[in-house]
């Protein structure tokens, strides 16, 4: 059986998020649909002035069918609130739409596994379709996976975090040139050493605040 490695053939020409989300359920652009419960598409209003992009749905998101509703989502909500950004009029999505995981040796626990470059690239047409529909003025990339999806595999988050960046013409829909800020993933705050969490959280809030300030 030929292996497909792109979502391109599954993305409909519609600019309605609901149409795109429905079509994503049938995506076979990479192998990740096989074990996940469902595709987790972006959520929020479209168009929206700000768009936030995470990595991939986690265990809770895979079950709920909505992005950022588990522990990382609660942390993101707290950080958005601290930065004065209401979650409602923004659009929130992920670089990869299906949950990638490994099963714990014992029990049913599903452990997050970072998507491969091939999977990230395969899923990018959905992200570009969302960018086209949402037409954001500011894009916030949460973590290295989202950053590398849109800024290229050589992008170094530690070197360019918080800077105001632009997407290369071939990586964005024609006519759209949002300002882009890359920052850490909310999970990085949760995973970090306990004594460093407050600082990590504050630095995430700082980046979100400067991203929001770009809206003027
Ligand atoms: N982590 C992400 O990157 N996205 C989610 O939706 C949940 C956790
Ligand atoms: Fe399609 Fe993306 Fe799911 Fe792969 S992860 S099957 S490319 S929606």
Query: What is the whole-number distance in angstroms between the Cα of residue 58 and the centre of ligand 1?
Result: 5
Query: What is the whole-number distance in angstroms between the Cα of residue 180 and the centre of ligand 1?
Result: 19
Mutational test site, ligand 1, from 57, 59, 143, 189, max ligand atoms within 8 Å of CB: 57
Predicted pLDDT at 3 = 59
Look at the pTM and tell me if it is higher than 0.85: yes
Q: What is the mean pLDDT of residues 93-122?
A: 94
Predicted pLDDT at 4 = 65
* Integer CA distances (angstroms), 91 to 48, 130, 131, in order: 6, 9, 10
Q: Does residue 93 have a pLDDT over 60? A: yes
Q: What is the mean pLDDT of residues 10-31?
A: 97
- Could you give the count of Cα atoms lying within 13 Å of 166 in the half-sphere of its Cβ? 6
DSSP per residue, 86-143 = -STTSEEEESSSS--EEE-SSSS-EEE-PPPHHHHHHHHHHHHHHHHHH--SEEEEES
- Residue range 132-171, pLDDT digits in tens: 999 999 999 999 999 999 999 999 999 999 999 999 999 9
DSSP strand pairing (91-94 vs 43-44): antiparallel
Residues with CB under 6 A from ligand 1: 54-58, 61, 67-68, 70, 72-73, 94, 187
Q: Return the residue whose CA atom lies nearest to atom 8 of ligand 2.
A: 97
**Average of per-residue pLDDT values in the chain:** 95
């Amino acid at each position: 059986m030929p292996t497909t490695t792109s979502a391109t053939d599954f993305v409909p020409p519609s600019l309605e998020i609901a149409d795109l989300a429905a079509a994503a359920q049938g995506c076979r652009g990479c192998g990740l649909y096989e074990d996940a419960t469902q595709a987790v598409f972006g959520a929020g209003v479209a168009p929206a002035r700000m768009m936030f992009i995470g990595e991939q749905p986690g265990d809770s998101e895979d079950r709920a069918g909505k992005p950022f509703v588990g522990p990382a989502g609660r942390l993101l909500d707290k950080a958005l609130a601290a930065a004065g950004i209401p979650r409602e009029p923004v659009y929130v999505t992920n670089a990869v739409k299906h949950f990638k995981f490994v099963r714990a040796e014992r029990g049913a626990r599903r452990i997050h596994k970072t998507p491969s470059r091939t999977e990230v690239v395969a899923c990018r047409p959905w992200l570009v379709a969302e960018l086209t529909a949402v037409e954001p003025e500011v894009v916030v990339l949460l973590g290295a996976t989202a950053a590398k999806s849109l800024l290229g595999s050589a992008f170094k988050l530690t070197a360019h975090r918080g800077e105001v960046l632009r997407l290369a013409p071939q990586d964005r829909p024609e006519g759209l040139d949002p300002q882009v800020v890359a920052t850490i993933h909310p999970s990085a705050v949760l995973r970090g050493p306990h004594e460093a969490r407050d600082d990590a959280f504050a630095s995430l809030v700082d980046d979100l605040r400067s991203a929001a300030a770009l809206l003027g």
